[in-house]
Structure 1
């Protein structure tokens, strides 16, 4: 039995509060700042697990050739406060795992963390031509030039309830603020008719576009000083360590490869305790996510620690269309 359904009365209350807040912003009663440089918001309606990090990385790749790009995150669960620019030698404890991941992948891009997005934008706009806001769909104090909303195929927001009975941060009515909606983590082999059905149920507005994507897994695994082909894991027993919101797609991918592993699952952005690190230190071979690797690599004194990168891969040759739409919307904003 799903006991969360008994929390539905509290969801009605929560929906009322968040809806009133959104109404105040929509009417202009609460201030929302628009900037002279384009700001791209990437976020979701659900709590975690929709693929925001791969989307931010994809946007950096799309924009980095033509614009000076900066990324602003709140640095979830970091142990510092205020505005902080991420450096190559920063730690996950200082800036958060995802911003550190972005910096290591794109060292030439300015990455910063700040809970106050407007303060962060004011500091970044002096050195950037486009700013990407990570996990900012509910941050109404900023009016983005382009808003990208993600939702996982296995947990579509149109089928969910607001907290605490469901996993939505706000009502699904909030989708109307999005310019682009991306359905993520679609299982391999999903019939195109199923995707058309989802698109129909979304009831998109005239200004909105929709895209469909799967998780793309790298052909190699990466450690502190080396990379190995994914096939290295064949006929080896290893431990999978995850501290992400939804590890199910990764687990299923590894099972389809017929790999032999034990899964140690932790909460999203989990800070590993000393005792947990000591236990993991005894494992012979560990595979983890790229985000978790940022938190583990400095604390686990073992060579056999690897991560498997993921990317956003669009279905039905939509990647070119997505890239063109992002660039066209940014260019239009800069002109007008």
Structure 2
């Protein structure tokens, strides 16, 4: 099952709301490190994504957060098959898609689209807006017959809040927020079911970020979309996401609902990440209890043994160096703290099990 999908209609069956539309299991992407010029020899690998598993449900938004270099964007590219997976499984509507090519891959990309991070470089400056948004129709002509494409493009511009008369303008004639709306319109052109948003608002002003986020939420309701939303801004992720996954050095270390992650985080890295969120009130900023991590993020080419966070973790014990913690719900937790966390000593702040030391210096 899923070895090849010869027909473009292979993914036309609907998935009930709340059921998995995208299933990722033990996904790995390693980039080889080589030496030599003529006779190249592999001497290692950058483990950008190293055993990631999650489900994306129909109609939900799954947020992915983590430090720069943790593998978020690489994960998005592997899901889109822009980068081939080293190993692991990606199933869309029950079909294995990670090794598809030809007609099968074409069918998947019609149903899974991507909105890129930088609206200044993701649009071709030599193409008009009409050509940019209408280009998917050249690849999938069955979506919009040639005589109806101009009207289809104008309708998409209207849907994302732009004047349909702008169809003959070029990208440099638009602001950053307007360019990102054009990118969203291009992503909607083929009527996909899943949109992967790779930091779609990080290059925009705060006021424009809110407009784009509200637009994405509105479109999700109108078109029954499922989002994977990658971002650094934890407040934006909480606003738009139903569930949140936290990545560290190529692995998902904690995943759960927005309330579970933001109010009842059990992984030390998630707790440190949340404590670093800026506080607008100066008085609250003086009394906040922030976790300050020591040391640098290890190299993904040579990650620590056992738990990858142990070199910066105040709970680390001998077990952490010997055993890789599983992403699972610890039996000793309950309530909203009972969710998947890859830590041997998972607990909410102030309730550390096993006699682990307290958090590092607080400010």
- Same fold, TM-score > 0.5, yes or no: no
Normalising by the smaller structure, the TM-score range is under 0.3
TM-score (norm 2): 0.26
Q: With CA pairs under 8 Å and 6+ residues apart, which has the higher RCO, 1 or 2?
A: 1
